[in-house]
């Protein structure tokens, strides 16, 4: 999946990566600060219910995971670099990588083998399904509130 954006009069082809790593507020912040990442959306994916809400997802009324959809310029940052950021920030028990191409699947599988030596092999790797953008109050949460969560606990972080 890719889309086009304009950067200083030049068309830039963006790729998309989708990761679930526990709380999407924390994952959103981790990816937003990377050079080459243009947009990160908090949302839900991996389930079958249409248009899930935050309350449905966190109460396990749906099988969706909190996730982030990362739009990035592959000429500036690689998918492997995004995977490295994912492994640094994901909660292994709640993590999943949703690939959008065969290349992403192969890179994700290879990175999981390396990460498994440190954190185990619980992370699911599966084809991307519909990504539902979370409610507006969940977008850019860290930037607006100075808070992120790690393993579903909220922490106030100083910046």
Could you tell me if 43 and 69 are in contact, meaning their C-beta atoms sit under 8 angstroms apart?
yes
Strands, E, within 50-141: which ranges? 65-72, 95-99, 124-127, 132-133
> Distance between CA 37 and CA 35 in Å, rounded?
6
How many CB atoms neighbour CB 130 within 10 A?
Answer: 13
Q: What are phi and psi of 90, to 5 degrees?
A: -80, 150
Residues with a catalytic annotation lie at: 23
> Distance between CA 132 and CA 27 in Å, rounded?
16
Query: How many angstroms separate the most distant Cα atoms in the chain?
Result: 46
Tell which residue, 64, 40, 41, 42, has the closest CA to residue 52: 64
Q: Number of C-alpha atoms within 13 angstroms, CB side, residue 64?
A: 30
């Amino acid at each position: 999946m890719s889309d086009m954006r304009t950067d200083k009069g030049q068309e830039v082809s963006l790729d998309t990566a989708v990761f679930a790593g526990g709380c999407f507020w924390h994952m959103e912040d981790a990816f937003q600060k990377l050079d080459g990442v243009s947009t990160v959306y908090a949302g839900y994916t991996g389930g079958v219910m249409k248009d899930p809400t935050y309350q449905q997802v966190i109460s396990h009324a749906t099988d969706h995971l909190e996730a982030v959809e990362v739009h990035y310029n592959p000429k500036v940052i690689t998918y492997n670099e995004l995977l490295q950021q994912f492994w640094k920030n994901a909660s292994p028990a709640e993590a999943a990588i949703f690939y959008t191409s065969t290349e992403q699947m192969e890179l994700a599988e290879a990175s999981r083998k390396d990460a498994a030596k440190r954190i185990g092999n619980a992370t699911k790797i599966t084809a991307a399904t519909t990504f539902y953008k979370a409610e507006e109050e969940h977008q850019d949460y860290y930037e607006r509130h100075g808070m992120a969560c790690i393993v579903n606990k909220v922490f106030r972080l100083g910046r």
